[in-house]
Amino acid sequence: MDTREALGSWIDGPKAAAEKMGADFGYRGERLGLPEEGPGSIAGPGRRIGALFVDGWLCSLVAYGLLARGEQATANLWTTPLFYTMTGLLIATTGTTIGKRLFGLRVVRLDGGRASIPQVLLRTLLLCLVVPAVVWDRDTRGLHDKAVGTVEVRI
């Protein structure tokens, strides 16, 4: 085996190495019965991270400007509870947040229906804990979505 080939397989990761050996993983969301592209397909990580940054920025802005009246230390205390409240309320009622709407995303149950309030509240709590959100499966669903049976799809 050539050294460059071995190094390349290490850099590409285990999925690329398995695909070179003939494994077929299909597209993101195929195992879940979702389309490959377009509405209803699994949202890519870039869109989801972008939406998360927009929502976090909006919560920070509200916490800094309205709740803490310009005091940075107080604003930091308000940001996470405000994020939890805003995200939980918006996803429970509309299936999307402001950031998700800007990026064309919606949170749904695996069968395509609206997520229940307990699902949304637990999902949002796990999202605030950060770790479940940064651990993904091969469909790029975070553990916070897997734990409650939801998925972020494109609209």
Domain that holds residue 132: 41-154
pLDDT tens column, 66-124: 776 767 777 788 889 999 999 999 999 999 999 999 999 999 999 999 999 999 999 99
Q: How far is it, in rounded angstroms, from Cα 107 to Cα 120?
A: 9
pLDDT tens column, 56-75: 999 988 888 877 676 777 77
Look up residue 116 and give its DSSP letter. P
**Does 21 fall in a domain?**
no
Whether the CB-CB separation of 29 and 35 falls below 8 Å is answered with yes
The predicted pLDDT at position 81 comes to: 93
pTM greater than the 0.85 cutoff = no
φ and ψ at 91, to 5 degrees? Answer: -70, -35
The predicted pLDDT at position 114 comes to: 95
**Does 113 fall in a domain?**
yes
Domain count, the chain: 1
Angle between helices 72-94 and 45-62 (to 10 degrees): 130
Alpha helices in the chain (DSSP H): 3-12, 14-20, 45-62, 72-94, 98-102, 117-128, 131-134, 143-148
**Does 98 fall in a domain?**
yes
**Does 10 fall in a domain?**
no
pLDDT tens column, 23-66: 666 788 888 888 989 999 999 999 999 999 999 999 988 888 87
**Does 33 fall in a domain?**
no
**Does 20 fall in a domain?**
no
**Does 23 fall in a domain?**
no
The predicted pLDDT at position 87 comes to: 97
The predicted pLDDT at position 66 comes to: 78
